[in-house]
Amino acid sequence: METLNLVIIEDDEAHFSLMKRVTAKNFPNASVRHFREANACLKCLDEISPDIIITDYLMPGMNGIEFLKALNHEGWNIPVIMITGQGDENIAVHAMKLGAWDYLVKSADFFSLLPSVIEKVVREWKLEKALRESEEKFRTMFSESSIGIQLYDSQGRLIDANQFCLDVFGISDIQEIKGLKLFDNPNIPDDAKTKLKNFETVQYETTYDFERVKRLNLYKTTKSESIDIDVLIVQLGLKDKQNFNGYLLQVQDISERSQAKKHIHDLTRQVMKAQECERQRISRDLHDYVAQDLSSLKIGCETLFDNHPEICREIRQRVAELSKILQGSIMAVRNMSYNLHPPGLDHLGLDRTILEYCQSFSDKNDVMVEYHSAGMDDVRLDFDTEINLYRVIQEALNNIKKHANAGHVTVRLIASFPKIILRIDDDGKGFEVKKRLMTALNEKRMGLRSIKERVGLLNGKLRIQSRLMEGTKVFIEVPYKEKKRDSEKNYTDR
């Protein structure tokens, strides 16, 4: 045992000597202080700070019960063992009620029992002290935390919340929300409640509508505007379902972060839209001016000697070669123009443009691409949706060509109000999704990242499934946002 600072209050010198001998034998590192009467010990407690006190009941002046009362009155929290020669149960009960940790009678086996009692009391005292310090740390963290914290019992009833949490929700009195049931909270999504009941940790972001809270009479609040919050719910003491103690809920007001995120989202969308508009302008200029001028030049070369039969064959052959080079340049310019902005989007619509792109991709590459659509007849989506879906398919097929070693790809585009669903399947070599996403980020590869960003700009959802040697499946859902003559209406889930 570690160093033990022991105090013995005993007016019988012989009895003290025997206790000291037993203590020294069993606790060689113990330091023992002796007092003949309790009042003298009280005056020195600040100086000696004992780990444990052994006190006789009957002593001159203050007896053991009065000593315990004095300790309580002064606020001392020191484990005390009471000893007496009387064996009076009433004294024992009184002493234990006043905080004594144990009670021993001066019987024949007193000195053999004393070491084990001291060891038990010290061990229990240290455990309680550690628990008390841990609770104090938790209480400090709980009360001073800059994150809102709520505590629920095992039945899902709210038992406490810190001040920061009250401030987030505009609650002036904790009693307003005590007893609220976690699983009856309409602001927690149903899928999150299901996970909680299966003893899973849950994290989600949501908008907290105070007007709705007031209409539902959940509690009183000083706030009226909506806020965006991030919520984390974990189970307490969960080693198994039998040891389940309750729930801890952490909440943060992320309204500013959400506004910044939305601002970045809007800026990114504007930048990409500006890029597409510039691509469209450059594409039109290449097609209408550069390609047309090159075509005129080619025709001029081909007809240059129509009225000059005397020109020799070598010169005519040389001009024909130059005309062939011009034809290659014309095709390169037109391909560049098409890649910058597919003209079919403006005239044929998304469905037909994707079909032609998939057929062209199959013709130019050693990959069979099948395209299927449903519900896309006469559908004209807004500019952002059309161009970003087209770019996603373009990027996905290029990725498949470069990395998948696939022989067959299926592209499906479905208009299923209120969503546009895109699915791209290949029979390539596949990959580990999480590992590839991390590698792509570290190596600054833009393929998957570009697809993810474009889907995000459309407020859509992206899911990728892939296994080694089992191909890859890409699932995308974006809101159905149809192009109107005078305005654009955004259809999203309510």
pTM: 0.55
Helices (H), 342-416: 344-347, 350-364, 383-399
Helices (H), 198-291: 210-215, 255-285
Paired strand residues for 150: 161, 249
Going by C-alpha positions, the residue among 475, 455, 450 that lies closest to residue 465 is 475
CA 244 from chain centre, in angstroms, equals 23
- Name the percent of the chain lying above pLDDT 70: 95
Is the Cβ–Cβ distance between 411 and 372 less than 8 Å? Answer: yes
Structure tokens, 280:
């469209």
Q: How confident is the model at residue 492 (pLDDT cuts 50, 70, 90)?
A: very low
Going by C-alpha positions, the residue among 200, 151, 199 that lies closest to residue 179 is 151
| Kind plus residue range of the DSSP H or E element containing 453 | helix 447-457
Is pLDDT at 172 greater than 70 in this prediction?
yes
Is pLDDT at 484 greater than 70 in this prediction?
no
pLDDT for 311 equals: 86
pLDDT for 242 equals: 65
Q: Which amino acid is at 149?
A: I
pLDDT, one tens digit per residue, over 353-395 is: 999 999 999 998 989 999 999 999 878 888 889 999 999 999 9
Is the Cβ–Cβ distance between 415 and 374 less than 8 Å? Answer: yes
Q: How confident is the model at residue 283 (pLDDT cuts 50, 70, 90)?
A: confident
pLDDT, one tens digit per residue, over 71-92 is: 999 889 899 999 987 767 888 8
Average pLDDT of the chain is 87
Is pLDDT at 447 greater than 80 in this prediction?
no
pLDDT for 240 equals: 60
pLDDT for 487 equals: 44
| Least-confidence region, from 222-236, 318-332, 479-493 | 479-493
Considering all CA atoms of the chain, what is the largest pairwise distance in Å, rounded to the nearest integer? 146
Cα–Cα distance for residue pair 460/346, rounded to 1 Å: 23
Is pLDDT at 277 greater than 60 in this prediction?
yes
Is the Cβ–Cβ distance between 135 and 160 less than 8 Å? Answer: no
Is pLDDT at 8 greater than 50 in this prediction?
yes
In this structure, what DSSP letter does residue 430 have? Answer: -
